[in-house]
Amino acid sequence: MLKNEVNYEEKGIVFNIQRFSVNDGPGLRTIVFLKGCPLSCRWCSNPESQNKHRQVMFNIKNCIDCHQCEEVCKMGAIDFKFNYRIDRNKCVNCGECIENCYSGALTMSGEEMTVQQVIDELKKESIQFRRSKGGVTLSGGEPLMQSKFTLELLKACKSMGWHTTIETTAYCSEKVIKDILPWVDLVLLDIKTLDTNKHFEYIGVNNEIILENAKKIIQFGIETIIRVPVIPEFNADKKSIEDIAKFAKGLNKVNEVHLLPYHKYGVNKYECIGKEYGMRKKINTPSNDVMVKFKTIVEDLGICCNIGAH
């Protein structure tokens, strides 16, 4: 296959396609969320994105206790005595219980789609992309984890003339970066802390690969914005933000850092996938005053800084 020939039959697992976003790249964007992430950030607001496979979600608030699911499950994975209802060790995510759940308490996160199917969805917004100078953003999860699918999807987007953005943790091999970047216009690069021990403790992996890959992405010459989730008890302190700002400065070509205040939007989803939320529930969003102080730290190093993802 030629380098820019697209395999429209390549398949990936997509868990959401969100239209009309103004936060994840220039203009109006459609965001394609891909399943799978090698990181497990304790505060993750899309915990259903971490597992790379399709996954049943159970929302007890919608359940009417009809027991239909229990009757149809051949694996014996539904147990009303079980804390989160589904025994994940037995469940094979076949989806039969969902088809028999008429209240919507059971849903599937993740759908297998071909590149062609995603492009067909994206085409619905192509006029908006042109008018607003927007485009497509691939997010997750970690879009580089489904690297073959991401590559083909990016190539297909470029063949349509659309602006492409990836939101990435950069936790991947050098080969993946080299393959993918020629098809990317903007990288939104998450850097969470320079403290290796803390990174491992709160995220489950070391940060060396991420920091090395950050340098490679910059060397590639692609516009890059560094995004920092500002998380109390993790990195919401002067030193952590200063360290990241200095790292960004050292990369030379980073003109923009976005500080994203901690929020709890995804907390309720943890129960739906049978997981405990990894942060203390009493932690609050950093105040605007605190965020402004962090913004000043970044700006004092001569880097443009926004609070939020604008």
The strand pair at 29-34 and 223-230 is best described as unpaired
Whichever of 13 and 101 has its CB closer to ligand SF4, that residue is 101
Write the interaction track for ligand SF4 spanning residues 221-260; mark x where CB under 6 A is met and - where it is not: ----------------------------------------
- Inter-axis angle of helices 238-250 and 288-299, nearest 10: 30
Tokens (6 digits) for 297: 């730290």
Does the footprint of ligand SF4 cover residue 95 (CB under 6 A)? yes
Tell the smallest beta-carbon distance from residue 61 to ligand SF4 (Å). Answer: 10
Write the interaction track for ligand SF4 spanning residues 40-59; mark x where CB under 6 A is met and - where it is not: ----------------x---
Whichever of 84 and 220 has its CB closer to ligand SF4, that residue is 84
By the 10 Å C-beta count (0-12 exposed, 13-18 middle, 19+ buried), 49 is classed as buried
Tell the smallest beta-carbon distance from residue 199 to ligand SF4 (Å). Answer: 34
Torsional sign, CA 80, 83, 89, 94: positive
Whichever of 95 and 308 has its CB closer to ligand SF4, that residue is 95
Stretch binding ligand SF4 (CB under 6 A), from 96-104, 191-199, 202-210, 242-250: 96-104
Whichever of 63 and 307 has its CB closer to ligand SF4, that residue is 63
Count of residues binding ligand SF4 (CB under 6 A)?
26
Does the footprint of ligand SF4 cover residue 65 (CB under 6 A)? yes
Tell the smallest beta-carbon distance from residue 37 to ligand SF4 (Å). Answer: 22
Whichever of 67 and 293 has its CB closer to ligand SF4, that residue is 67
Buried b (16+ CB within 10 A) or exposed e, 136-146: bbbbbbbbbbb
The strand pair at 11-21 and 111-114 is best described as antiparallel
Whichever of 56 and 230 has its CB closer to ligand SF4, that residue is 56
Tell the smallest beta-carbon distance from residue 66 to ligand SF4 (Å). Answer: 4
Q: Which of 96, 223, 233, 242 binds ligand SF4 (CB under 6 A)?
A: 96
Q: Which of 8, 27, 40, 75 binds ligand SF4 (CB under 6 A)?
A: 75
Does the footprint of ligand SF4 cover residue 106 (CB under 6 A)? yes
Does the footprint of ligand SF4 cover residue 63 (CB under 6 A)? yes
Alpha-carbon span 21 to 43, nearest angstrom: 22
The candidate with the shortest Cα–Cα distance to 122, out of 69, 159, 89, 87, is: 159
CA of 176: how far to CAs of 33, 143, 145, 148, in Å?
18, 11, 9, 9
Whether the bond into 141 is cis, omega within 30 of 0:
yes
- Asked if 19 and 32 touch (Cβ cutoff 8 Å), the reply is no
Q: Maximum CA pair distance of the chain?
A: 63
Q: Is 149 left (phi over 0), alpha (psi -120 to 50) or beta?
A: alpha
List of residues contacting ligand SF4 (CB under 6 A): 56, 63-69, 72-73, 75, 77-78, 86, 91-97, 100-101, 103, 105-106
